[in-house]
Amino acid sequence: MRFHPLPSELFIANRQRLLALLPAGAAALVTSNDIMPTNADGTMGFVQNSDLFHLTGIDQEDSVLLIFPSAGDPRLREVLFLRQGNETIALWEGEKLSAERATALSGISQVRWLDEFEVLLRQVLCQCSVLYLNGNEHPRASSVVETRELRLARQLRHDWPLHEFRRLAPLLHQLRIVKQPQELRALSEAISITEAGFRRVLRALRPGMHEFEIEAEFAHEFIRNRARGFAYPPIIASGINACVLHYVTNHQACHEGDMLLLDVAANYANYNADLTRTIPVNGRFTARQRAVYDAVLRVLTECRLMLRPGVLLREYQEEVGALMTSELIGLGLLDRQAVASQDPQRPLYKKYFPHGCSHHLGLDVHDVGATWEPLKAGMVLTIEPGIYIREERLGVRLENNILIGEDRNTDLMASIPIEADEIEALMNAS
């Protein structure tokens, strides 16, 4: 793997926290993701199942974790199954993890090869009272592809119809939503790499460059600093493209006088940063661009104080909407009287700010976390207000990542330039 391994103590502690949530006699299974096909004999790059990585630190395909703390045989209480390498695999794909290396990464002493999985699982199923199975239960998940987890669940329900099966995802979400110190260090490294890419782009951007050239500048800086690559498909959107929320074609030229929206960040050790900045292509804001930019920045600044333990994201979003409404009135985009008589279910600000302002961040860019439960210290969230004015071909979004603290929040991106004056100074430095 490209990144420096995280300490095995993190994954040992994560599994211990999960064991504390399992009832007596229960077992749990977590699998790696599939390698997804493209066309012919092609495949996509492998991305590990976030839950499996959270519990093991293993970043290899064809991996399974079996936990059964009540097992009479101590060797069955915690087992990691891996694909066994051989000379042919080493020739075509490279070396696979050895049992010794897997133990060093995960802290799991019992490492077995996958050809033993069915036999050992049968022993566990004959003893356990309930089996917890995992699945993707993110509220915004949408997939027509049957995952490895769901295939396994379907097979087990068929083969063991008299057993009781339960959902593991709610327990794992509960554990993952509050970040541990080692996780925060990995997130901070992803943010540091993202900052390096942004500063590189501030030096490189010139009118006439194409959006994909800017994407290449980020990619160069990310990969040379041990990132896996982009945390998500990068948005490099100039001019009116910035008004397309998920613009990812990145194929047009950046013109003199336009603004360039950059929603792009690095993934390090499977942890994701999430940065957005909007900068003038020629290095100088016009008066109108600066007015819109400063309005968005004021909202972000206020939001850093609003995200506190006990806050519900639903209620927070309503407060953000009120802040944004005031800014839009100041910019001449909304009429005060029209706002006073608006339908509360269809607030007028959504014409210019149609998306949410914050989401959880971690092993997934839109990380697990129930929006209907109060925030807690130790959670990491984004703050990403934006104003999109299609008739002016102008879109501005700014985004930082915030660690919720007991007494005060920490802006994990505080060192990344965001003030308009600093942006101009860096872009025009000789």
- How high is the pLDDT of residue 361? 98
Q: How far apart are CA 262 and CA 416, in angstroms?
A: 13
Identify which of 40, 50, 53 has the alpha carbon closest to the alpha carbon of residue 80. 53
* CATH fold of 8-176: Creatine Amidinohydrolase; Chain A, domain 1 (3.40.350)
Helix, strand, coil abundance in the chain, percent, nearest 5: 40, 15, 45
Domain ranges of the chain: 8-176, 181-427
Overall pTM > 0.85: yes
Instruction: List, by residue number, the catalytic residues.
Output: 41, 246, 263, 274, 355, 359, 366, 384, 388, 397, 399
Single-letter amino acid, residue 188: S
Segment holding 157, helix H or strand E: helix 148-159
Sign of CA dihedral 265, 268, 270, 272: negative
* pLDDT by residue, tens only, the chain of 430 residues: 899 999 999 999 999 999 999 999 999 999 999 999 999 999 999 999 999 999 999 999 999 999 999 999 999 999 999 999 888 998 899 999 999 999 999 999 999 999 999 999 999 999 999 999 999 988 888 888 899 999 999 999 999 999 999 999 999 999 999 999 999 999 999 999 999 999 999 999 999 999 999 999 999 999 999 999 999 999 999 999 999 999 999 999 999 999 999 999 999 999 999 999 999 999 999 999 999 999 999 999 999 999 999 999 999 999 999 999 999 999 999 999 999 999 999 999 999 999 999 999 999 999 998 888 999 999 999 999 999 999 999 999 999 999 999 999 999 999 999 999 999 999 999 6
- How high is the pLDDT of residue 1? 81
Q: Which residue has the tokens 């925030």?
A: 375
Identify which of 275, 252, 285 has the alpha carbon closest to the alpha carbon of residue 201. 275
* CATH fold of 181-427: Creatine Amidinohydrolase (3.90.230)
